[in-house]
Amino acid sequence: MEHAFTNPEFLWRTPQPRASYDVVIVGGGLHGLSTAYYLAKNHGIRNVAVVERGWLGNGNAVRNTTVIRSNYLRAESMPLYDFGLRLWEGWEAELDYDLMFDQRGVLALTHTKVEANGVKRTVAANRLTGIDAEWLEPDDIKAFCPIVNVSPDIRYPVMGASLQRRGGIARHDAVVFALARAASALGVDLLQGCEVTGFEMAGNRVTGVLTSRGRIGAGRVGLVGAGRSPLLAGLAGFSLPIQSYPLQALVSDIVDPVLDCVVMSGTLHVYVSQAQKGELVMGAGRDTYHSYAQRGSFQILEHQIQAALELYPIMRRAHLLRTWAGIVDVTPDASPILGRSPVDALYINCGWGTGGFKASPVSGYVFAHALVHEVPHELATSFSLERFETGTLVDEHGAAGVAH
């Protein structure tokens, strides 16, 4: 009998490495793939390889909790993240792929006066910049998201919340598939199982990457290694002001629809959304110690579940199904590092830490520009590595925090 079903079409080509490429991107997560896609699409640079030590989308690309929003605080960050959100708004059509991008609204609860003042300040800054943002009092919160416990007698009563209605979630694997397909169709070679183990240099200029699949020549190299960026920089002979920590998340079993927005709480270190399938997807704060092990400590999960049960009593009946961790690349100011490195022709895109999923489009967009023009895109001029020498940091701890 004939097979009852056939395998689906492959979404991307699996070529052998060429001897050299105009640009080699190291890292096949969302930001590496997005960079390659925009190199080809926006700049016509198609002689490009993405080299990936594992498989495409093995790292944070598919370990994140997919919260998308642009309500950051600083004048430098807001235009960057909001341009990113506008790219998301057109991405499903552009990539011709159902990304399950869903602008269901992101609610950020506050529990102390200091936190409420800080969040109100961010709401005001957002509105002045043309980013949609609202302040909700507890009664409005109850109407918008009925499962939140707004009673005044809980341990940390809810004092109000910000709401970005344009914020939401998407399906992360679909984004990997869509970008890989689009980049491959434009001519980008996606080289999996290809670990970069060193760099070939001529003086202070990088001329190629040494990989587990041999040497590959490169006109320019972009490092997009997320949590492993410090190790890549080390191979190239420089350091990054980045520390790598585990960040954990979990899902419950499948339950009836109870939650149709994203709710986060910075003070209590928990945020939650409900996937279209029905699982409650929850994230917490990061673990405290450095790690490359892609797992964290149990008490972080315990703490986040305690907070969730107090804020959303209905979740008492859910069961924990699965937990995991990714390694996040945390900078001193919770802002990314984009642009030149101390090595000529070697560019870096890292430091998105706990919050880079939302930036998948804009990260690749601006980084492709830097790789081609050798100067930062106008949205990214404030995010150079030099800012740690000049002291012009872009402090987003308030807006980044637990609220990815």
Partner 1 sequence: MLLITCPWCGAREETEFRHGGEGVRVPPDGDDPGWTRLLYYRENPAGPYAERWVHVHGCRQWFHVVRDTTTHQILSTRRLDGQEGAA
Ligand X SMILES: Cc1cc2nc3c(=O)[nH]c(=O)nc-3n(C[C@H](O)[C@H](O)[C@H](O)COP(=O)(O)OP(=O)(O)OC[C@H]3O[C@@H](n4cnc5c(N)ncnc54)[C@H](O)[C@@H]3O)c2cc1C
Residues that bind ligand X (CB under 6 A): 26-32, 51-54, 58-61, 63-67, 195-196, 224-228, 232, 247-249, 283, 326, 328, 352, 354-358, 404
Helix (H) / strand (E) containing 205 = strand 205-211
357 binds, among partner 1, ligand X, none (CB under 5 to 8 A by kind): ligand X
Query: CB 393 → partner 1: shortest distance, Å?
Result: 9
298 binds, among partner 1, ligand X, none (CB under 5 to 8 A by kind): partner 1
Q: Mask: binding to partner 1, 327-356, rule CB under 8 A, as x and -?
A: -----x------------------------
Q: Of 387 and 404, which has the nearer Cβ to ligand X?
A: 404
* CA-to-CA separations, 279 to 104, 321, 358, in angstroms, rounded: 16, 9, 20
Query: CB 316 → partner 1: shortest distance, Å?
Result: 23
Query: CB 299 → partner 1: shortest distance, Å?
Result: 5
Q: Does 36 bind partner 1 (CB under 8 A)?
A: no
Query: CB 198 → partner 1: shortest distance, Å?
Result: 15
Query: CB 340 → ligand X: shortest distance, Å?
Result: 19
Q: Does 230 bind partner 1 (CB under 8 A)?
A: yes
Q: Of 159 and 368, which has the nearer Cβ to ligand X?
A: 368
237 binds, among ligand X, partner 1, none (CB under 5 to 8 A by kind): none
Burial grade of 302 (CB within 10 A; 0-12, 13-18, 19 or more): exposed
Query: CB 303 → ligand X: shortest distance, Å?
Result: 15
Residues within window 376-395 making contact with partner 1, judged by CB under 8 A: 388-389
Q: Of 30 and 161, which has the nearer Cβ to ligand X?
A: 30
Burial grade of 67 (CB within 10 A; 0-12, 13-18, 19 or more): buried
Query: CB 197 → partner 1: shortest distance, Å?
Result: 13
Of the candidate spans 53-61, 171-179, 192-200, 289-297, the one that interacts with partner 1 by CB under 8 A turns out to be 289-297
Give the separation between CA 322 and CA 138, rounded to whole angstroms: 32
**What would the DSSP string read from start to end of 16-71?**
PPPSEEEEEEE--SHHHHHHHHHHHHHH----EEEE-SSSTT-SGGGTS---B---
Query: CB 293 → partner 1: shortest distance, Å?
Result: 6
- Residue located via tokens 């106008």: 378
Give the separation between CA 54 and CA 31, rounded to whole angstroms: 15
Q: Are 213 and 194 in contact (CB under 8 A)?
A: yes
Q: Which long-range contacts (CB under 8 A, 24 or more apart) does 18-22 make?
A: 18/47, 18/49, 18/189, 18/216, 19/216, 19/217, 20/208, 20/216, 20/217, 20/218, 20/219, 21/47, 21/48, 21/49, 21/189, 21/216, 21/217, 21/218, 21/219, 22/47, 22/48, 22/218, 22/219, 22/220
Give the per-residue SS3 of 153-164: CCCCCCCEEEEE
Of the candidate spans 11-19, 85-93, 188-196, 234-242, the one that interacts with partner 1 by CB under 8 A turns out to be 234-242
* Residue from 25, 81, 36, 21 nearest 225 by CA: 25
> Judged by CB under 8 A, which of 187, 241, 278, 398 binds partner 1?
241
Query: CB 295 → partner 1: shortest distance, Å?
Result: 8
Angle in degrees, 0-180, between the axes of helices 30-43 and 360-373, rounded to the nearest 10: 50
Q: Of 150 and 172, which has the nearer Cβ to ligand X?
A: 172
Q: Does 27 bind partner 1 (CB under 8 A)?
A: no
Q: Does 299 bind partner 1 (CB under 8 A)?
A: yes
290 binds, among partner 1, ligand X, none (CB under 5 to 8 A by kind): partner 1
Q: Are 107 and 145 in contact (CB under 8 A)?
A: yes
Residues that bind partner 1 (CB under 8 A): 230-231, 239-244, 288-293, 295, 297-299, 332, 388-389
